[in-house]
């Protein structure tokens, strides 16, 4: 049977708990991936709502992207919600990088559109290439199984990514065959961004050794996602035994019971406790190992990230917020 992108796409959609009549917000930037996503979705029976956010990063070019998305939505008779936000200014106020801030603001916008229009789902155009690139970026930065699990096919019980198993090459072939226009984002060629460096330099090199490297990395990511899910479930079953007490400023763990766990679960337990108190964005493996060694030596070999405080109280490891402890 000849390859049919629409058939593969319908199979992908079937993996999500969608019901007939569920309305879907489609995040459309105007780029090839999101335009193809909209093209495929309009061949289903689900009611659609296009959503486009102008980040104001590229001046008149960004405005042209919005005009393109609005025109395409009108051509295909799909309602469209447009919004324009000075994302760079908001990122400075929030102390976020442009990419992290833009992602946060974009998802907030999409959820607002879903709420206002009564949509049950939000779809984004992440592809297999995005998944493979994300895996490599995180691997090069030193991520564990959780990070290497990659982009989730569904998050927040609302956002789905039905193109995640489909390569960008197949998407480009579909758009060319159907003669569907899309917008090119000049920033995709800028080597300022780490992802673009991986896309231009690393992926072609790896392809020389494995022509199917994108699918291979995606498969590895999927396996690690399942392994991570298994370990996370195991940790949850142990937490009632090892957690002695918990407040919004302090968590105490039973050291003996903590040390009886596999080293992998010990790390996860410490990381879990820190995450409950202040998030784990800048928590390194070295710091986690230092905390575990502290249980026996009572010495920290790694600086404490603010505002964390680590102590022992008898047979308990106490992880708390330093500012709260000294207030």
Instruction: Sketch the domain layout of the chain as residue ranges.
Output: 5-221, 247-326
pLDDT of residue 2: 54
Range 74-80, long-range pairs (CB < 8 A, 24+ positions)? 76/38, 76/42, 78/26, 78/38, 78/42, 78/48, 78/49, 78/50, 79/48, 79/49, 79/50, 79/117, 80/49, 80/50, 80/51, 80/52
CA count, 13 A, side-chain hemisphere, 295? 23
As a CATH number, domain 247-326 is 3.30.465
Pairing outcome for strands 316-321 and 308-313: antiparallel
pLDDT per residue rounded down to tens, the chain (327 residues): 457 999 999 999 999 999 999 999 999 999 999 999 999 999 999 999 999 998 876 667 788 999 999 999 999 999 999 998 887 777 777 676 777 788 888 999 999 999 999 999 999 999 999 999 999 999 999 888 999 999 999 999 999 999 999 999 999 999 999 999 999 876 777 777 889 999 999 999 999 999 999 999 999 999 999 999 999 999 999 999 999 999 989 999 999 999 999 999 999 999 999 999 988 877 889 999 999 999 988 888 887 888 889 998 889 999 999 765 444
With beta carbons less than 8 A apart as the criterion, state whether 165 and 218 touch: yes
Do 5-221 and 247-326 fold alike per CATH? Answer: no
CATH of 5-221, one of 3.40.109.10, 3.30.1370.60, 3.40.50.620, 3.30.70.270: 3.40.50.620
Residue 296 in tokens: 């026996």
Q: How many CB atoms lie within 10 A of CB 241?
A: 13
For Cα atoms 161, 167, 168, give the angle at the middle one, nearest 5 degrees: 95
With beta carbons less than 8 A apart as the criterion, state whether 311 and 318 touch: yes
pLDDT of residue 128: 97
β-partners of residue 160 are 123, 154
């Amino acid at each position: 049977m000849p390859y049919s992108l629409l058939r593969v796409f319908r199979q992908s959609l079937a993996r999500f708990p969608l019901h007939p009549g569920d309305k879907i917000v489609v995040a459309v930037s105007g780029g090839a991936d999101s335009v193809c996503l909209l093209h495929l979705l309009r061949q289903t029976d689900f009611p659609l709502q296009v959503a486009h956010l102008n980040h104001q990063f590229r001046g008149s070019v960004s405005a042209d992207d919005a005009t393109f998305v609005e025109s395409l939505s009108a051509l295909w008779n799909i309602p469209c919600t447009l919004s324009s936000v000075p994302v760079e200014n908001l990122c400075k106020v929030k102390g976020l990088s442009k990419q992290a801030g833009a992602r946060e603001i974009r998802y907030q916008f999409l959820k607002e559109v879903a709420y206002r229009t009564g949509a049950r789902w939000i779809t984004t155009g992440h592809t297999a290439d995005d998944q493979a690139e994300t895996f490599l970026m995180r691997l090069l930065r030193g991520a564990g199984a959780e990070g290497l699990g990659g982009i989730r096919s569904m998050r927040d019980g609302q956002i789905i990514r039905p193109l995640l198993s489909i390569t960008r090459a197949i998407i480009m072939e579909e758009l060319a065959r159907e003669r569907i226009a899309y917008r090119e984002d000049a920033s995709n060629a800028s080597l300022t961004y780490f992802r673009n460096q991986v896309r231009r330099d690393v992926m072609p090199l790896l392809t020389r050794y494995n022509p199917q490297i994108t699918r291979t990395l995606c498969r590895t990511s999927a396996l690690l996602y399942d392994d991570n899910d298994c370990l996370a479930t195991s940790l949850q079953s142990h937490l009632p035994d090892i957690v002695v007490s918990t407040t919004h400023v302090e968590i105490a763990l039973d050291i003996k019971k903590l040390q009886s766990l596999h080293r992998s679960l010990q790390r996860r337990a410490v990381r879990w406790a820190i995450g409950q108190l202040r998030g784990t964005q800048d928590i390194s493996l070295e710091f986690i190992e230092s905390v575990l060694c502290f249980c026996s030596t009572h010495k920290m070999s790694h600086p404490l990230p603010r505002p964390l405080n680590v102590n022992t109280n008898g047979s308990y490891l106490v992880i708390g917020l330093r500012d709260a402890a000294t207030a």
